[in-house]
């Protein structure tokens, strides 16, 4: 093996192929980049209660209503959305990446691990590897009936709770099936929360949403030209 490498590595370096491969790898998107979900799939609806006062903290926690996730996680969601569209449905996201500073703020307001992950350990949302969402009708964009509203912490909100009207149960199962097919894991106590498998490889982060939004906007806008 070693002898083989000794033979072909210098050969590749000689042709410049290896260095161009390395450059391509760096220039290409990385799986752990933060990406705005709608830039990958504009059909996914974003509606973040934490960007409003209408949440369990009764205050605005996000400066912008923009949803970011690690690129490889957002790519999985794109696949889920495409699958659901074939059945006449779509996704509406309630939360994605959440800066750790917001986790501390939530904990200060509700220091109860039934509601909020302890910020010292962090939430999978702080890693950009978890998402809260529901199903919508693709045409009308109306939410379908689900067991509870968002952030209602009760037995009824448990992912495997089944004492529900048939239609609600079918909607919940449709969402769970679509998500697990593309590498998301169900959270037992919250039907709306899914973790991307492999989440441990993404560290806890505190990049501000406003900052990520600025970067995303810079990528969208064509470079300004100097007309002098
Ligand atoms: Zn969640």
- Per-residue CA distances from 222 to 42, 94, 109, 122, 225 (Å): 19, 30, 42, 37, 9
Q: pLDDT higher for 1 or 55?
A: 55
* 87-136 pLDDT, tens digit each: 999 999 999 999 999 999 999 998 988 778 999 999 999 999 999 999 99
Question: Is residue 6 predicted with pLDDT exceeding 90?
Answer: no
Average pLDDT for 54-75:
96
Question: Is residue 223 predicted with pLDDT exceeding 80?
Answer: no
pLDDT of residue 32: 87
In contact, 196 and 184? CB cutoff 8 Å: yes
Got the DSSP string for 104-123? HHHHHH---TTTS--TTT--
pTM of this structure: 0.85
Distance 27 CA to ligand 1 centre (A): 32
Residue written as token pair 């923009």: 66
pLDDT over 90 for what percent of the chain?
A: 79
Distance 107 CA to ligand 1 centre (A): 14
Got the DSSP string for 205-220? ----HHHHHHHHHHHH
Distance 151 CA to ligand 1 centre (A): 9
pLDDT of residue 164: 98
Give the domain 31-220 fold.
Muramoyl-pentapeptide Carboxypeptidase; domain 2 (3.30.1380)
Distance 82 CA to ligand 1 centre (A): 22
Domain ranges of the chain: 1-30, 31-220
* 179-208 pLDDT, tens digit each: 999 999 999 999 999 999 999 999 999 999
pLDDT over 70 for what percent of the chain?
A: 85
């Amino acid at each position: 093996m070693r002898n083989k490498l000794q033979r072909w590595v210098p050969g590749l370096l000689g042709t410049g192929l290896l260095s161009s491969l390395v450059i391509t790898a760096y220039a290409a998107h990385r799986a752990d980049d933060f990406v705005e979900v709608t830039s990958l799939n504009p059909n996914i609806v974003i509606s973040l209660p934490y960007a409003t006062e209408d949440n369990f903290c009764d205050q605005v926690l996000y400066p912008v209503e923009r949803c970011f996730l690690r690129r490889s996680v957002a790519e999985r969601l794109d696949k889920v959305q495409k699958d659901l569209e074939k059945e006449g449905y779509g996704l509406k996201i309630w939360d994605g990446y959440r800066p750790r500073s917001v986790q501390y703020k939530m904990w200060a307001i509700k220091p109860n691990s039934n509601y909020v992950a302890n910020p010292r350990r962090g939430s999978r949302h702080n890693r950009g590897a978890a998402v809260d969402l529901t199903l919508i009708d693709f045409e009308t964009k109306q939410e379908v009936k689900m067991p509870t509203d968002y952030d209602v912490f009760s037995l009824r909100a448990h992912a495997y709770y089944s004492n529900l009207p048939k239609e609600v149960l079918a909607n919940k199962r449709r969402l769970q099936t679509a998500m697990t097919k593309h590498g998301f894991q169900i959270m037992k106590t919250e039907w709306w929360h899914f973790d991307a498998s492999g989440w441990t490889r993404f560290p806890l982060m505190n990049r501000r949403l406003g900052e990520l939004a600025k970067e995303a906007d810079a990528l969208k806008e064509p470079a300004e030209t100097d007309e002098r």
